[in-house]
Amino acid sequence: MPVSLDLTQERRTLLISGPNTGGKTVTLKTVGLLSLMAQSGLPVPAADAEFPLFAQVLADIGDYQSIQENLSTFSAHVSNIREMALDVTPDSLVLLDELGAATDPEEGGALGVAIVEHFRAAGAFTMVSTHLMALKIYGASTEGVVNGSMGFDEQTLEPTYHLQLGLPGKSAGLEIATRLGIPEDIMRRARLSMSDRERDVTRFLAELHRRIEETRATEQSLSEKLTALEKHEKELAAEWEKREGAKLKELERRTDLALARFEEQAQEAIGKIAQGLDRRKAEQEAQRRVSKAKRELREDFQTTVLATCDDARQDRIAPLRIEEGARVRLRDVRELARVRRKLGNGRIEVEAGFLKMQVSEDDVIEVVPETGGTASRLPQGVTYRPAPELTPAHQEINVIGQHAEQARDAVDEFLDRAVMATASRVRIVHGHGMGVLKKTIADLLSHHPHVAKFYPAPQQEGGAGATIVELRE
């Protein structure tokens, strides 16, 4: 007979009531036997079991009457219980079968309540089987005490051997006597002799058990319906996922086709753009080479022909006259410089573009005359048109506030003028804003033939709001 029960530190006492032959005594013996098996290290035949370590198991089970010892059934039970009451400790397991039986029910009930209260106060785990109403009422009204009942089928008048915790059971003595064949006239007389209180209690317990069974059946039915509903929901969800999955796959297929067509068209457009960029880059490279050749030719002409033409006619080479404010050409510096002041000891301070530096007068290879004086010194039949003078207009441009395309064209033209003016380093001021002008100019500079490299200006020259460009030679 499988039994499930649970006693805890807070609920240490269990009162089991119910019909005769319903399994109360077997339940007590099962708990006692399994506890001793666990104490002995033997496997416990249970699906799940947890036992405390008991110092002793105290049991009063069975009938101990003896003519030789002059003990009646009641006396034998009382004698055993007396010894148990003296020996009990909080680490004891106490098993009492049919407590309060074999004497007057009222006195037996009072004695039974007192005995159970003694063991409960001692802190022992206690299990008691009983038919007495006093003990059932005690179990229902005392903290730490649990009522339990062995099941009884009202239809078949047979016990179910199922232990249910939480409510007392009815003894069903009359029903069992009827099932065992007691004549009907005797049973009728027995029912009539029951007091109204006993009949009411019996009827109340029977109704309580009936309603509990109905509630349990309703819960079972609801649980089955809930399980069926959850199964149906899962089937619907699976069907929905299947349909949506098919739609999603079709959508992905169409998306892949559209992306493939777009990529094909994009590659074709990129190819055409690349061809155009290659042609433009070739043209710009050719223009850059021509400009470089013209600039080198002009520099060679100025440094070799013009600088020595007059001196050669006079059969002497005059020393260079370096004055403050004069324009000079320095050795290893492509850009023209202007003398700011003479420092003495053969050194001068010059300014070339954004750079200020101190150099030796020996580094000056030419004093360049101001515009207008060259043509008078050219040989007959030779004409010369100087490059634009290197001025701040050739070294910096400000495109803040312009549209992207407008700024792109202005910077492109500015770079051409800067190269013609022999500038080596220029600054483009585009501001911060949304970054559109900065990106447009960076795209232009990244493939411009005149540009050697470019980078954000230092903080003192505008920071991220300006770009410094170093030009090719």
What secondary structure letter does DSSP report for 303? Answer: I
Q: Are residues 184 and 37 in the same domain?
A: yes
Tell which residue, 163, 107, 165, 150, has the closest CA to residue 20. Answer: 150
Q: Which two tokens stand for residue 29?
A: 């013996």
The answer on 282 and 219 residing in a single domain is yes
Residue 92 β-bridge partners: 56
Strands 396-398 and 425-429 turn out to be parallel
Residues of the domain holding 436: 392-471
Q: 102 with 212, same domain? A: no
Separation CA 65–CA 78 (nearest Å) = 11
SS3 percent helix, strand, coil of the chain, rounded to 5, is 50, 20, 30
Closest of 77, 80, 86, 84 to residue 108, by C-alpha? 77
The pLDDT assigned to 218 comes to 86
173 and 24 in one domain? yes
SS3 95: strand
**Contact (Cβ atoms closer than 8 angstroms) between residue 427 and residue 466:** yes
Predicted local confidence at residue 62, as pLDDT: 77
Q: Which CATH number does the domain housing residue 328 bear?
A: 2.30.30
Location of structure tokens 């033209």: 413
User: 3-state class of 361 per DSSP?
Assistant: helix
Nearest to 15 by CA among 142, 108, 160: 142
Query: What DSSP string runs through 56-68?
Result: EEEEE-S---BTT
Statement to judge: residues 203 and 245 lie in one domain: yes
What pLDDT does 128 receive? 94
Q: What are the structure tokens assigned to 125, written together? A: 């785990």
**β pairing state of 364-368 and 56-60:** unpaired
Number of Cα atoms under 13 Å in the Cβ half of residue 58: 23
H or E, element range at 25: helix 24-39
Residues 170 and 235 in one domain: no
Residue closest to 357 by CA, chosen among 381, 379, 387, 333: 333
Alpha carbon distance 196, 213 (integer Å) = 25
Q: Where does a domain end: 377, 402, 424?
A: 377
Cβ–Cβ < 8 Å for 133, 153: no
> Is there a single domain that holds both residue 291 and residue 347?
no
Locate 148 and state its tokens.
Answer: 């339990």
In 3D, which of 173, 165, 129, 132 has the Cα closest to residue 147?
165
Residue 385 and residue 51: Cα distance in Å, rounded? Answer: 114
Sign of CA dihedral 370, 374, 375, 376: positive
**Residue 64, pLDDT score:** 60
The last residue of one of the domains, among 141, 176, 193, is 193
CATH no. for residue 188? 3.40.50.300
- Within this chain, do residues 341 and 399 fall inside the same structural domain, yes or no? no
Given a contact cutoff of 8 angstroms between Cβ atoms, the answer to whether 169 and 35 are in contact is no
Handedness of CA 40, 43, 49, 50 (dihedral sign): positive
**C-alpha–C-alpha distance, residues 462 and 427, integer Å:** 9
Q: Which of 115, 105, 107, 113 is nearest to 136 (CA)?
A: 113
* This prediction's pTM: 0.42
Q: Are 453 and 470 in contact (CB under 8 A)?
A: yes
Provide CB contacts within 8 A for 78, sequence distance 6+. Answer: none
Does residue 206 form part of some domain?
yes
Contact 76, 66 (CB under 8 A): yes
Single residue among 328, 346, 377 that ends a domain in this structure: 377
Return per-residue pLDDT of the chain as tens, 473 residues. 678 888 998 999 999 988 777 788 889 999 999 999 999 999 999 989 999 999 999 999 876 655 455 456 778 788 889 999 999 999 999 999 988 777 777 888 889 899 999 999 999 999 999 888 888 888 888 899 999 888 777 677 677 788 888 878 766 666 667 777 788 888 777 777 665 555 556 666 666 666 777 787 888 888 888 888 888 888 888 888 888 878 878 878 888 887 788 777 777 777 777 676 666 676 677 667 666 666 666 666 555 555 555 554 454 455 778 888 888 888 877 788 899 988 888 899 998 877 788 899 888 888 888 764 444 455 556 555 555 555 666 688 999 989 999 999 999 999 988 888 888 899 999 988 888 899 999 999 999 999 999 999 998 888 889 999 999 87
Residue 241 and residue 154 share a domain: no
- Taking every pair of C-alpha atoms in the chain, what is the biggest distance, in angstroms? 169
CA 260 – CA 463 distance, rounded (Å): 43
In this prediction, residue 67 carries a pLDDT of 47
Q: Does 157 share its domain with 248?
A: no
Residues for the chain: how many in total? 473
Residue with tokens 């008048």: 157
Nearest to 437 by CA among 464, 402, 470: 402
- Residue 70 and residue 185 share a domain: yes
In 106-205, DSSP assigns E strands to 125-129, 145-153, 158-165
* Number of compact structural domains in the chain: 4
pLDDT score at 57: 94
